[in-house]
């Protein structure tokens, strides 16, 4: 099923921590909402790298055994998945701790279906700086990783990453760079949100900034469609309709939200309480993609702009980077 007839819907990031097949079963929520492509998170810096490999094994097995889903490695494979009524999936990793300090792990993950990776999950690591840390910029290892990601065809993602590291990465990368799920600091002053100059630098690489639906990043625990649209409108005005997308970062409450909020509470270094005063987060649901499309039309945006925001822009960048 596709939302609004033929419109392509690309969700640049799902937020759940993938531990069991029950987590994967929640992908039906995105599929029911008309999402055509979802980037499924298989790891982040909070967990040891071996658990990322285990999550990949689980997700690859589930995807190949479960009707209605298709693992894709190239942007051109999306059309066949849509024609077959299948939701297309690729994997992403949030933080280069998953590389265990080894450059060859970039190609290893790419071989296993990872098509997007960001530098650091909130805290500094061997590659660069996190958004909730004292960012010292890209390290020599981080620079080598960018070159390797460009070589193998993996999207360089700057979400969760410190300001200086993002600016250096965007200057260094030979391919378009994305912020898969980063809202505007101009609208909501939170360290996870990005400055206008970061969004402008991203657009200058040919990349896309994805707006997320996480309560404290949209506003004051705001998961409303109107709140999300305010960030979309900000980026449309700032960087233009070819560079705005959506990465809602949804996770299903019934499956693992309580676990996740326990993780947040137990890891105050990764989620500083001053930045997450509620001790957890809430998130907008994939069903809101339809409302976002309607909201953009109601605000007078043309068809090409709406198509680009809903999925066309990320699809274009994926085609350029993945092949
Ligand atoms: Zn994230």
Question: What is the domain-level CATH number for residue 291?
Answer: 3.20.20.140
160 CA → ligand 1 middle, Å = 6
With respect to residue 179, please indicate whether it lies within any of the assigned structural domains.
Answer: yes
Number of Cβ within a 10 Å radius of residue 323 = 10
Number of Cβ within a 10 Å radius of residue 50 = 11
Q: Is the dihedral of CA 147, 72, 119, 164 positive or negative?
A: positive
Structural domain containing residue 252: 14-322
Give per-residue pLDDT as tens, 148-184.
Answer: 999 999 999 999 999 999 999 999 999 999 999 999 9
Specify the number of domains making up the chain. 1
Give per-residue pLDDT as tens, 252-311.
Answer: 866 455 577 788 888 999 999 999 987 778 899 999 999 999 999 999 999 999 999 999
Structure tokens at 17: 């921590």
180 CA → ligand 1 middle, Å = 8
174 CA → ligand 1 middle, Å = 24
Q: Which residue matches tokens 């960087």?
A: 239
300 CA → ligand 1 middle, Å = 31
Q: Which residue matches tokens 């069903």?
A: 287
Confidence of residue 2 (pLDDT cuts 50, 70, 90): very low
Q: Which residue matches tokens 């996480």?
A: 214
Q: How many CA within 13 A on the CB side of residue 83?
A: 5
Rounded CA separation 179/235 (Å): 12
With respect to residue 140, please indicate whether it lies within any of the assigned structural domains.
Answer: yes
With respect to residue 198, please indicate whether it lies within any of the assigned structural domains.
Answer: yes
Rounded CA separation 75/73 (Å): 7
With respect to residue 7, please indicate whether it lies within any of the assigned structural domains.
Answer: no
The pTM (predicted TM-score) of the whole model is 0.96
With respect to residue 301, please indicate whether it lies within any of the assigned structural domains.
Answer: yes
With respect to residue 1, please indicate whether it lies within any of the assigned structural domains.
Answer: no
């Amino acid at each position: 099923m596709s939302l609004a007839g033929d419109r392509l819907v690309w969700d640049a990031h799902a937020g759940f921590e993938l531990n069991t097949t029950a987590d994967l079963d929640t992908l039906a929520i995105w599929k029911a909402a008309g999402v055509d492509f979802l980037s499924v998170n298989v790891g982040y810096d909070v967990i040891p790298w071996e658990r990322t490999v285990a999550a990949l094994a689980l997700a690859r097995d589930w995807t190949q055994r479960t009707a209605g889903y298709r693992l894709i490695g190239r942007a051109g494979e999306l059309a066949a998945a849509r024609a077959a009524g299948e939701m297309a999936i690729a994997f992403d990793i949030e933080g280069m701790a998953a590389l265990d300090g080894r450059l060859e792990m970039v190609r290893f993950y790419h071989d296993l279906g990872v098509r997007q990776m960001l530098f650091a999950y909130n805290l500094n690591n061997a590659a660069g700086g996190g958004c909730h840390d004292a960012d010292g910029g890209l390290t020599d290892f981080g620079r080598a990783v960018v070159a390797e990601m460009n070589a193998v065809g993996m999207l360089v993602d700057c979400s969760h990453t410190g300001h200086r590291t993002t600016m250096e990465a965007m200057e260094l990368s030979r391919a378009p760079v994305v912020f898969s799920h980063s809202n505007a600091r101009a609208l909501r002053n939170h360290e996870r949100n990005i400055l206008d100059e970061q969004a402008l630098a991203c657009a200058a690489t040919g990349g896309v900034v994805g707006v997320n639906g996480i309560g404290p990043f949209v506003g004051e625990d705001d998961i409303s469609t109107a709140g999300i649209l305010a960030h979309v409108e900000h980026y449309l005005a700032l960087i233009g309709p070819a560079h705005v997308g959506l990465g809602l970062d949804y996770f299903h409450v019934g499956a693992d939200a309580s676990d996740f909020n326990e993780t947040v509470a137990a890891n105050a270094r990764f989620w500083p309480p001053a930045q997450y005063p509620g001790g957890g987060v809430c998130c907008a649901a994939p069903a809101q993609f339809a409302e976002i499309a309607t909201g953009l039309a109601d605000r007078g945006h043309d068809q090409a702009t709406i198509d680009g925001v809903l999925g066309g822009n990320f699809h274009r960048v994926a085609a350029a980077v993945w092949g």
